[in-house]
Amino acid sequence: MRIDIGSRFVGPNCPLFVVAEIGLNHGGSVDRALDLVDAAAAAGASAIKLQTIQADRLVAPACPAPAHVTARSLSEFFASFELDEDAHRRIAQRARERGLAFMSTPFYEEAVDMLVRLDCDAIKIASGDITHARLIERAAATGRPLILSTGMSDLGEIADAVSVARSAGARQIALLHCVSAYPVPAGSENLRAIAELGRVFNLPVGLSDHGTDPLAAPLVVALGGSLYEKHVVLSSGDGAIDQDVSVDPAGLANLVAMAERARRALGAGRKTCLPAEAVNVTASRRALYATRDLAAGDVITADAIRALRPATGLSARRWRDLVSRPAPRAIQAGTAFLETDAGGSHEALVEVA
């Protein structure tokens, strides 16, 4: 249940793979896109992602605008965000110079071929295209890691998309929970769906975050997610189209740091005595001590035993092994019983969890 994107492993117990979604926030400017790449790298992101658009391959002339977009013509609106292949190449090169993986979401089938020519590290299918079988097949056939965003979908539709991708040759697939509202109303994040996706599909999972609460990033980690995508802008209030669901570089750096703190705090998920606490075992646990002097052969009674710290003798859980036994040696009041006093060998005097 692990995939490789660029030089990074993505899956359980790996650091959260954070995708800085440039999306349309470049406003059609390559220079702004390059600045966003630099900002994402400085913030500690793992990858940047574009949206590869050709307006006449995306919307019909009379297509209504979604709830979060105000535009007289969606075709003209999307055309203003088109970037050609050379622009994509420059952005991909800058990403690699900054140590970031390069990803994009193709919104038309031929765009997949362009992304392959640019040697993209992964391809993402947008939530709105989870039923676009031909696009999924085209992307899956490249053999590149494929990330499916699942906004507005149910488990049946997701299963169909995963099946289409696998049938077309995809071997590395990840799923992103997503709520396709911009921004997501508080209380509608439904983040537990991340864990459900991981449980049902046994694939790397994560979140495409359109919410406004930074707590989502560490919660992704807590819920078993290994990918996190967030739109990024150069500064708050810079007028970018997705400003309402974006963070500035400082905000992105904070999300990256919170996610890593959460991952380290969660640990490996195995209950054991950790090195940080092992030094306190002897001082904190109890051994069994004699309350009075006992001569060799004296029967040890319950009132002759007291559990005290430190645990430098027979473990307190062994008290029944002492009761009614004859003392094998003289034991002075206030001293600890030993393993041999309970009939065992003189080993492991301190119990370590």
102-159 tens-digit pLDDT: 999 999 999 999 999 999 999 999 999 999 999 999 999 999 999 999 999 999 999 9
Residue 162 one-letter amino acid = V
> Which architecture characterizes domain 275-342 according to CATH?
Alpha-Beta Complex (3.90)
Residue in 188, 206, 203 with CA at minimum distance from that of residue 255: 206
Confidence band, pLDDT 50/70/90 cuts, at residue 59:
confident
Tens of pLDDT, residue by residue over 145-204, are: 999 999 999 999 999 999 999 999 999 999 999 999 999 999 999 999 999 999 999 999
Alpha carbon distance 266, 307 (integer Å):
34
Residue listed under structure tokens 């004296």: 298
Residue 345 has pLDDT above 70, yes or no: no
Tens of pLDDT, residue by residue over 314-325, are: 999 999 999 999
Tens of pLDDT, residue by residue over 250-307, are: 999 999 999 999 999 999 889 999 999 999 999 999 999 999 999 999 999 999 999 9
Q: From its phi and psi, is residue 11 left (phi > 0), alpha (psi between -120 and 50) or beta?
A: left
Rounded to two decimals, what is the model's pTM? 0.89
Length of the chain: 353
Confidence band, pLDDT 50/70/90 cuts, at residue 13:
confident
In the chain, what are the domain boundaries? 3-266, 275-342
- Between 241 and 296, the higher pLDDT residue: 296
Quick one: 281 exposed, middle or buried, by C-beta within 10 A (0-12, 13-18, 19+)? middle
SS3 207: strand
Q: Report DSSP state, residue 15.
A: P
Confidence (pLDDT) at 297:
97
Confidence band, pLDDT 50/70/90 cuts, at residue 68:
low
- Helix 109-117 to helix 133-140 angle (10° resolution) is 20
If you write DSSP's letter for every residue of 57-91 in order, what string do you get?
A: GT--TTPPPPTT---S-HHHHHHTT---HHHHHHH
Q: Which fold has domain 3-266?
A: TIM Barrel (3.20.20)
Residue in 78, 119, 80 with CA at minimum distance from that of residue 96: 119
Q: Which two tokens stand for residue 75?
A: 């075709």
